[in-house]
Structure 1
Amino acid sequence: MSFFGFLLLGLIAGAIAKLLIPGKQAGGWFVTLLLGVVGAMLGGWLGGLLFNVSLESFFSLGTWVLAIGGSLIVLLIYGSIAGRRAKA
């Protein structure tokens, strides 16, 4: 997948992950979209490591599941760190 395709995938996956997490999250949309790109990279890495699946095709269901799953993980970690910092 090209760099721009991967960037678009991460941006969309971050937006979907933000919609799936209930409640108010720390950070705005820009932070969420950046974390979505990081999450897509994490999902692709974990998918390749654990399931021998890669982010090769933009329109593959496996690619989207891995990207959204990775984005959810990154957003939850970021939310727990940012939430803890706001309470302190």
Structure 2
Amino acid sequence: MHKAGWQDYLTSNIFIKDVFKEGDDDKLYKNQLLADGKILFTGTSYHDEKANPLLLQLNDDGTLDPAFGEGGVFSPRY
């Protein structure tokens, strides 16, 4: 989401990131534009056939925010 409030979907209209390992099923459901221009996503990561909550944060340029979680991703494994 652009600072002005419209979605620009980065440059390719797609954001792809394997959270744990290739082949796992990670889904993002909601996003929130934060006051500092970063975008916070919530979702679910299915790892080893278990559903885990997922938070992912992007910088305003669309890169993962390395200061958030582990390299831009927070997902406790249950």
Same fold (TM over 0.5): no
Tell me the TM-score normalised to structure 2 length: 0.33
| Structure holding more strand per residue | 2
**Structure with greater helix share of residues:** 1
TM-score calculated relative to the size of structure 1: 0.31
